[in-house]
Amino acid sequence: MSNEDIDKEGQEESGVAVAESTPETKKPRMYRVVILNDDYTPMDFVVQVLKRFFHKTTEQATKVMLQIHYEGQGTAGIYTAEIAETKVVMVNDFSRANDHPLMCTMEAE
On whether residue 35 sits in a domain, the answer given is yes
Per-residue pLDDT of the chain in tens (109 residues, 90 and over written 9): 555 555 555 555 566 666 777 788 889 999 999 999 999 999 999 999 999 999 999 999 999 999 999 999 999 999 999 999 999 999 999 999 999 999 999 999 9
On whether residue 70 sits in a domain, the answer given is yes
On whether residue 99 sits in a domain, the answer given is yes
Host domain of residue 42? 29-108
The DSSP element (H or E) to which 30 belongs, if any, is strand 30-36
Number of domains in the chain: 1
On whether residue 24 sits in a domain, the answer given is no
On whether residue 7 sits in a domain, the answer given is no
Q: What is the pLDDT of residue 20?
A: 77
In whole angstroms, give the CA distance from residue 39 to residue 32. Answer: 23
Q: What is the pLDDT of residue 94?
A: 98
Q: What is the pLDDT of residue 43?
A: 97
On whether residue 22 sits in a domain, the answer given is no
Q: What is the pLDDT of residue 37?
A: 98
Q: What is the pLDDT of residue 13?
A: 57
Q: Give the residue from 82, 102, 80 showing the smallest Cα distance to 92.
A: 102
CATH at residue 82: 3.30.1390.10
